[in-house]
Amino acid sequence: MSVRISIILLTCIIGSTWSFPAQMTTPALAGGSLEPMEAARKACLQSYCAAGSVWAAVQEGRADDITAAKGVLEKRKKSDPGDKKPEASRDVFTQITEANKGNMALTEEGDILIKIHRSATTSDYLWPKSADGTVVVPYIFSHNYSAGELALFESAMQEFETLTCVRFVPRTKQRDFLNIMSNGGCLSMVGRNGGAQRVELASYGCMSRGVIQHELNHALGFYHEHMRSDRDDYITIITENILPGYENYFKKRNTNNLGIKYDFTSVMHYSSNTFSISPDKSTVVPKSDPSTPIGQRHGLSILDIYKIKKLYQCDVCAILLPDSTGTMTSDNYPSVYTDNASCVWLIRTPSGQVTLQFQAFDIQSSPGCVSDYITIYDGPSKTYPVLVDRACGTGVIPLQIASTNQMLVEFVSDGAVTGTGFTATYSSVQCDGAFYVSNKNITTPGYPENYYPNLDCTWTITAPTGYKISLQINEFNLEIGIFCIYDYLNIYNTTRGKVMGPYCGPIDFYYPFESTGNSMVLKFHSDSTTEMSGFSATYTFVPEKKGRRMKADTDATIADFYIKYT
């Protein structure tokens, strides 16, 4: 009998000890003494773990004492709502202009530090190319960014490395380098200026992948897209809608456009109402179709990548797939693929978690797949965990789900036998949400069918001031496991940081959870195996005074709150 089955059987035996109180007690999210449910569960766990050693390790944080305790701590750390900062939902340049209020006198075009004027393609101001074909851009951080912010920088920089020949590397002794600091704005010089070159990326206002890549792209030598010499063929500048004093931000530059077409989706493009006298009045309007979206928040576009590769003469096979859904194929598919290939596809969906499904797979087979192979990574570069390690032959690759909205696929072939290659489709699983109106349902993806593996979902509920949240879990069936280390649900009272959970297995919740403040967070996690039907929950807003449900005369308050936050 496997260890996992033994654990499940043991959990089932003791399950009634700590599951029953959940059926009979209203779980309170406030601090103070433990509710009967938690007390019963602790007693059960203490009796199961010899002398309470594992539970003590979990409670006291001695993660290195016991492997099981370490696993629990890692799961709980991963589900901590304060662990990750969501990226901003606004387009890149809206974030930049808001962060740079008060700094405009020091800049051109809103975020370019004033020093010199030149074309993006002046070779004297490009970063030098190394003998191995890479372009090394050294940097230092002159600010104590948090661990989460440093991880965001790393992810943003790694996209350049994955898709181009540019390498952002920590400075050692180089004379020219980027000095990245947090001085209250999002600002950069254009191209290589020499010495310690300022790049300002404030912790407050600039921490999104798109903003970081926008300012780094300035440092590589690129101006804003709407300033191109050929821009009048593609956009109309509505001068009467520009804020007085900001007209120069819309002047054309004498640029070499590298023979690449105008890019409305560029991370370097102004949004439609940048520096407008009113949010509902456009300053930049596409000519062919005025409804064409311009300005985005996700990061480098396909043509942004192409421009970098052309400007720095990068010889790399790398493809960005930025849409919500799409198809990817090997070279020449369904004919045989080329010899001596080395290509990567970076899938970066706008949101959710990337899913990848292969429809056909025919890669030369070899022992250990050392000749031709596909490797899939759970992130934007090869430094991230491997989902599929060197697959070859004609077998079926199961559905792959990344932990974020990014997945990297690498294909390598040698100079010998080839196959027809592969074709695959990608999409995303959407399982996050922010809710500001009462009486909504929350379910695991696919409910009532089984949820997907490898999910990390977060739902944030925020009520108006003076109200709290009542959450009723109607159906609940997650994979069962001791300590709920496989699949689980945590419920956070964000007002006081109290967490209820983790919950797993089949449980009947006869009474609702009630927050002590006006916010609540649900965190759901599933591992790579054994999916169940999940859960269905309903929440409503109730006045802070206990026992009173929302009445009709509160509708105006709710409506006003909804308009304010959406």
Structure confidence at residue 312 (pLDDT): 96
Run of H or E residues at 530: none
CB 231, CB 109: distance < 8 Å: no
Structure confidence at residue 66 (pLDDT): 34
Structure confidence at residue 57 (pLDDT): 36
CA proximity to 436, closest of 412, 459, 404: 459
Asked, colleague to colleague, whether 92-286 and 316-429 share their fold, the answer is no
Residue 37 has pLDDT above 50, yes or no: no
Q: Domain 316-429 belongs to what architecture?
A: Sandwich (2.60)
Residue 56 has pLDDT above 50, yes or no: no
Summary mean pLDDT of the chain:
79
CB 316, CB 309: distance < 8 Å: yes
Q: Locate tokens 């070779």: which residue?
A: 123
Q: Locate tokens 């704005």: which residue?
A: 185
Distance from C-alpha of 566 to C-alpha of 562, rounded to nearest angstrom: 6
Max mean pLDDT among 46-55, 143-152, 529-538 falls in 529-538
* pLDDT tens-digit readout, 268-299: 999 899 899 998 999 999 999 999 989 787 88
Q: Which of 215, 225, 410, 531 is labelled catalytic? A: 215
Distance from C-alpha of 414 to C-alpha of 364, rounded to nearest angstrom: 9
Structure confidence at residue 148 (pLDDT): 82
Q: Is 215 known to be catalytic? A: yes
Residue 341 has pLDDT above 60, yes or no: yes
Q: SS3 for 13?
A: helix
Structure confidence at residue 124 (pLDDT): 67
Distance from C-alpha of 412 to C-alpha of 364, rounded to nearest angstrom: 11
Average pLDDT over residues 196-208: 90
CB 361, CB 334: distance < 8 Å: no
End-to-end Cα separation, the chain, in angstroms = 53
Whether this prediction's pTM lies above 0.85 is answered by: no
Residue 434 has pLDDT above 90, yes or no: no
Structure confidence at residue 8 (pLDDT): 39
* pLDDT tens-digit readout, 536-549: 999 999 998 754 33
Determine whether the annotation assigns residue 218 to a binding site.
yes
Residue 158 has pLDDT above 80, yes or no: yes
Average pLDDT over residues 548-566: 33
Confidence band for 409, pLDDT divided at 50, 70 and 90: very high
Q: Locate tokens 């920590």: which residue?
A: 170
The string over 527-549, giving b where at least 16 C-beta atoms fall within 10 Å of a residue's C-beta and e elsewhere, is beebbbbbbbbebbbbeeeeeee
Distance from C-alpha of 277 to C-alpha of 284, rounded to nearest angstrom: 13
Q: What percent of the chain has pLDDT over 70?
A: 75
Average pLDDT over residues 306-318: 96
Residue 323 has pLDDT above 80, yes or no: yes
- Least confident among 235-244, 317-326, 345-354: 345-354
The amino acid at 194: G
CATH superfamily of domain region 3-78+431-565: Spermadhesin, CUB domain (2.60.120.290)
* pLDDT tens-digit readout, 451-461: 888 889 999 99
Cα 476–chain centre separation: 27
Q: What are phi and psi of 100, to 5 degrees?
A: -95, 10
Residue 340 in tokens:
């001596």
Structure confidence at residue 30 (pLDDT): 33
Structure confidence at residue 407 (pLDDT): 95
Structure confidence at residue 122 (pLDDT): 52
Residue 158 in tokens:
């790694």
Structure confidence at residue 350 (pLDDT): 86
Domain boundaries, the chain: 3-78+431-565, 92-286, 316-429
Residue 337 has pLDDT above 90, yes or no: yes
Residue 100 has pLDDT above 80, yes or no: no
* pLDDT tens-digit readout, 221-254: 999 999 999 999 999 999 999 999 889 889 998 8
The more confident residue out of 122 and 401 is: 401
**CATH 3.40.390.10 given to domain 92-286:** yes
CB 410, CB 343: distance < 8 Å: yes
Distance from C-alpha of 290 to C-alpha of 284, rounded to nearest angstrom: 9
Q: What are phi and psi of 261, to 5 degrees?
A: -65, 160
Please write down the HEC assignment for all residues of 30-45.
Answer: CCCCCCHHHHHHHHHH
* pLDDT tens-digit readout, 138-156: 999 988 888 888 988 998 9
Residue 437 has pLDDT above 90, yes or no: no
Distance from C-alpha of 482 to C-alpha of 504, rounded to nearest angstrom: 9
Distance from C-alpha of 45 to C-alpha of 2, rounded to nearest angstrom: 21
CA proximity to 453, closest of 528, 400, 386: 528
Structure confidence at residue 566 (pLDDT): 31
Structure confidence at residue 110 (pLDDT): 61
Residue 470 has pLDDT above 80, yes or no: yes
Residue 490 has pLDDT above 80, yes or no: yes
Residue 9 has pLDDT above 50, yes or no: no
Which letter does DSSP use for residue 338 in this model?
P
Structure confidence at residue 405 (pLDDT): 86
Distance from C-alpha of 243 to C-alpha of 195, rounded to nearest angstrom: 35
Confidence band for 111, pLDDT divided at 50, 70 and 90: low
Residue 561 has pLDDT above 90, yes or no: no
